[in-house]
Amino acid sequence: MVGRSVIVTGAAGGVGAACARRFVAAGDRLVLADVKEEAGQAFAKELSEAGAEVAFVHADVTNRLHVHNVVAEALDAYDRIDVLAHTVMVKYSAPFLETSEEDFERIVGANIRGAFLINQAVSKHFVKQASSDTPAQSPPGVIVNTGSVEAVMAAADHVAFAASQGGLQQLTKAIAMALSPYGVRANLVGVGAIKGEMDKNAEQKKLRDSTPLKRIGDPEEVAEVVFFLASEAASYVTGQCLYVDGGRLAHTESETNEGKT
């Protein structure tokens, strides 16, 4: 059986690379996209030499032409698109009163505009597939975006980032509603503290201490949830956000509700 055609953005490292490995393990065929061309090419070569069907496209998903190139590569290589795993997430930290308009626009653009462009471009092909597929070929497509727990919680020095994450969550829900008549599903995986995303030991310790499971998550743990949501095992799940955060949100909620009757 031929594997699915999967686009993974932000695939050169971290959660994106872990997602790519998980899809490859299932026999899927991949188009990897990332702004990091050298790292992306090297990763694609590694997977290809291990026997996977993989192509790499150097792409900034905030650029409409680059997004077109990613979609075109998937269609040229595999004739269809079955899954979009969009893992691009640009972080930014600065005091609120010192956050410039340019930085705010850059972060919102990277995290919301980028998601909008790649989601929309892929969705157009999902809709075409929905009208042309035979029952044996369905479902017509699945979208899994990845974001942050800061869609629902916030830090004082993460104003731009938190705003972008809240927007990404609502964007995903709205896309799910727009695509549901075609049988296309869209969900979001919200992540907490994940290895490889923090440079400072002090930051890691603070996040580890505030996480009920008392550890930093592995990218592979996020990839398993992305893979699940992209699979038929989640065929009745759409418009949802599943958090992979070691219990951080539950802990925050319990603190907020402490003392309430």
Determine the average pLDDT of the residues in 183-209.
80
Evaluate if residue 256 carries a pLDDT over 90: no
Give the tokens for residue 28. Answer: 């899927």
Q: Is the pTM of this model over 0.75?
A: yes
| pLDDT tens track for 102-160 | 999 999 999 999 999 999 999 999 999 998 865 555 578 999 999 999 999 988 999 99
pLDDT-above-90 percentage for the chain: 79
Q: How far apart are the first and last CA of the chain?
A: 56
Residue in 144, 156, 230 with CA at minimum distance from that of residue 190 = 144
Domain architecture of the chain: domains with CATH: 5-256 (3.40.50.720)
The predicted model gives 76-93 an average pLDDT of: 96
pLDDT (average), residues 226-247: 96
Mean of per-residue pLDDT scores for the chain: 91
Q: Which amino acid is at 168?
A: L
Q: Is the pLDDT of residue 100 over 60?
A: yes
In this prediction, residue 205 carries a pLDDT of 74
Query: Can you give the pLDDT at residue 201?
Result: 60
Whether the CB-CB separation of 32 and 44 falls below 8 Å is answered with yes
- Confidence label for 261 from pLDDT (cuts 50, 70 and 90): very low
